[in-house]
Amino acid sequence: MLYTFIGILVVVVLVIAANVRIVPQSQAFVIERLGAYSTTWNTGLHVKVPFIDRIAKRVSLKEKVMDFPPQPVITKDNVTMMIDTVVYFQITDPKLNAYGVESPVSALENLSATTLRNIIGELELDQTLTSRDVINNKMRSILDEATDPWGIKVNRVEVKNIIPPDAIKNAMEKQMRAERERRESILIAEGQKQSAILVAEGQKQATILEAEAQKQSTILHAEAEKEAAIQKALGQARAILEVQKAKADGIRMIKEAGADEGFIKLRSLEALEKAADGQSTKIIIPSDLQSMAGVVTAVTEVAKTGKKA
C-alpha cells in the first residue's frame, strides 16, 4: 500500500512538473481549454491543467523584417517595372494573430503586393522614381489599417529597389548624359564669363592706376616747378638784398671816410661814362656838368704831377 501511494505521488509530481511552463521575454503563449481559447500567457511562470489545457500557439512579440521579392507593377503611363519592398511589423495581439488569419506572413506579403500595384498605378514613371517617401507612407498606412484584425502592427515600409525596363534604363542614361553635358557647357560658359569679367576688371584697374600715376606725376612735377620758381625767386631776392646791402655799405664807408664833394661828383661822372657806353638812346646831363668838368681837370692835373714826381 505504501509503495502504491508513493508511486501515485511520484506520478502526480511528474504530471505537474510536465505542465509547468516558463514563458520567455518577448514571447506569449495562446492557451486553449478543451479546444476553445482560454487565455494568453505573458512572460513568467505558468501551470496548465493536465489533459485539459494546451498551448495552441507560441507567438514572438519582437519586430520582424520581411523582405518580399520584386513584384511587377504598371505605372499610370503604362511602364512595367519591378519593385521589391521591405516591411517591418510586430505582433501586438497574440489572440488575433492566432485566430485572425491562417498564415499572417503570407497574407501580409500578398496584401503588400496588391497595395503596391494600386499605389504605383496612380503614379507616372517620373513620379514613381522620385516619390519613394510618398509610396512608403501610403503603403504603411494601408497595411497597418488592414492588418489590425490580425493583431499585427506595421511600423515601417520601405521601397528597396525600383527596376525599370532596359529601354527605360537606356533612355534615362542618355538623359542623364545629356544633362551632365548641358551642365558642363554651362560651367564652361560661366568660367569664360568670369574670366572675361576678371580681365576687364584688371584692365579697368590698370587704367585707373595708370591715370592715378600720371596724375601724381603731374602733381609732383608741378610741385617741383613751383618749388624751383620759389627757390629762384628767393635767390633773386637774396641777390637784390645783397646788392642793396653792398651799396648801403659802400655809401656808409664813403661817409665814414669823409669823402668831399669832388669825389662824389667824380663817381657821378664815371657812372655817366658807363651809361654812355650802354645801349641807351637818351642821356640825361646834369646841370652842374661844367663844375664837374673842372673838378675832373683838377684831378687830372694832380694825377699828372704825381706821376712826374
**Structure confidence at residue 64 (pLDDT):** 92
CATH code that applies to domain 63-164: 3.30.479.30
Predicted pLDDT at 303:
43
pLDDT level of residue 309 (50, 70, 90 thresholds) = very low
Mean pLDDT, to the nearest integer, of 124-137? 87
In whole angstroms, give the CA distance from residue 79 to residue 112.
Answer: 20
Please give the mean pLDDT across all residues of the chain.
81
Question: Is residue 135 predicted with pLDDT exceeding 50?
Answer: yes
CA distance 82 to 78: 13
Cell of 191: 568660367
Is the confidence at residue 279, as pLDDT, over 80?
Answer: no
What is the DSSP-derived secondary structure letter of residue 284? Answer: P
Distant-in-sequence, close-in-space partners of 89: CB < 8 Å, separation ≥ 6 = 63, 64, 66, 108, 143, 147, 152, 153, 154, 155
Q: Across the beta sheet with 27-33, what order do the strands follow?
A: 36-41, 27-33, 53-60
User: Which amino acid type is present at position 76?
Assistant: K
Residue 295 pLDDT:
45
Angle at 152 between CA 147 and CA 154, to 5 degrees: 80
Give just the sign of the alpha carbon dihedral 108, 109, 112, 118. negative
- Residue 268 binned pLDDT confidence (cut-offs 50, 70, 90): low
Q: pLDDT per residue over 9-50, tens digit each?
A: 777 778 777 788 889 998 999 999 988 999 999 998 988 888
DSSP letters, 3-35, are HHHHHHHHHHHHHHHHTEEEEPTTEEEEEEETT
User: Which band of pLDDT confidence, cut at 50, 70 and 90, is reported for residue 286?
Assistant: low
Query: Using CA atoms, how far apart are residues 160 and 122, in angstroms rounded to an integer?
Result: 19
Q: What is the pTM of this model?
A: 0.54
Tell me the residue type at 90. Answer: Q
Task: Over range 224-251, report the average pLDDT.
Answer: 82
- Rounded to whole angstroms, the Cα distance separating 127 from 120 reads 9
More confident residue, 303 or 168: 168
pLDDT value, residue 299: 42
pLDDT tens-digit readout, 171-215:
777 888 888 888 888 999 988 898 899 989 888 888 898 888 888
Instruction: Show me where the domains of the chain are located.
Output: 2-59, 63-164, 177-233, 250-274+288-309
Which pLDDT belongs to residue 300?
Answer: 47
Query: To the nearest whole percent, how much of the chain has pLDDT over 90?
Result: 22
CA–CA separation, 61 and 91 (whole Å): 5
Of 281, 283, 284, 301, residue with least CA distance to 293:
301
Q: Can you tell me the distance from the alpha carbon of 270 to that of 208, in angstroms, rounded to the nearest whole number?
A: 67
Q: Which three cell numbers stand for residue 32?
A: 486553449
Residue 154 pLDDT greater than 90, yes or no: yes
Report the chain's terminal Cα–Cα distance, integer Å: 204
162-179 pLDDT, tens digit per residue, is 888 888 778 777 888 888
- Buried/exposed 191-229: b ≥16 CB within 10 Å, e otherwise: eeeeeeeeeeeeeeeeeeeeeeeeeeeeeeeeeeeeeee
Contacts of 208 (CB under 8 A, 6+ apart): none
Asked whether the predicted pLDDT for residue 283 surpasses 60, the reply is no
- Beta-strand ranges (E) seen in 112-227 are 152-163
